[in-house]
């Protein structure tokens, strides 16, 4: 099947399919006599897997690792579970960072609301670490 049909049937754009080919996630397809890419319909499942793996937060390098394991005939689920657990830890770390940023921004917003613009000194007293209006 040509790339346009593959794109329509898989829900992945032709541009993305070509990119994933260049990234080594999708094997180079055969070519028709006229030089068009000629994909095996089985590629649709691979494209769906790649898209879902990306949605789960896996990087293209991680997805490539999973595909290599699978292509070698080994079950990749243990490796995928490890990747997902690592991704969960990364998300938890990011949530903690965002929570801390939220707390800081809330304090700064309160400080900004109390700040008299006529008393602003230096670069901006709102962002100075030891501002007397913190209370």
Residue 132: its pLDDT value, please? 55
Domain ranges within the chain, ordered by starting residue: 1-64, 75-135
Tokens at residue 15, please? 């541009």
Residue 90: its pLDDT value, please? 95
pLDDT > 70 in the chain, percent: 96
Say if domain 1-64 classifies as CATH 3.40.50.300: no
Residue 69: partners with Cβ closer than 8 Å, 6 or more residues away:
75, 76, 79
User: Can you give the pTM of this predicted structure?
Assistant: 0.74
Residue 117: its pLDDT value, please? 86
Cα separation, 28 vs 47, in Å, equals 13
Place of tokens 């790649």: 50
Q: Which tens digit of pLDDT belongs to each residue from 61-111?
A: 999 999 999 999 999 999 999 999 999 999 999 999 999 999 999 999 999
- C-alpha R_g of the chain: 25
Residue 122: its pLDDT value, please? 82
Residue 11: its pLDDT value, please? 96
The residues facing 38 across adjacent strands are 30
């Amino acid at each position: 099947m040509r790339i346009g049909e593959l794109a329509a049937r898989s829900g992945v754009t032709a541009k993305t399919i070509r990119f994933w080919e260049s990234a080594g996630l999708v094997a180079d397809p055969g070519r028709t006599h006229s030089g068009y890419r000629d994909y095996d319909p089985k590629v649709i499942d691979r494209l769906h897997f790649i898209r879902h793996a990306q949605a789960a937060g896996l990087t293209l390098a991680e997805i490539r690792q999973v595909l290599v394991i699978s292509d070698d005939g080994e079950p990749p689920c243990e490796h995928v579970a490890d990747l997902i657990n690592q991704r969960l830890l990364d998300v938890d770390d990011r949530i903690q960072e965002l929570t801390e940023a939220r707390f800081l921004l809330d304090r700064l917003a309160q400080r900004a609301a109390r700040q008299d613009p006529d008393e602003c000194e230096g670069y901006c007293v709102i962002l100075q670490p030891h501002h007397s209006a913190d209370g």
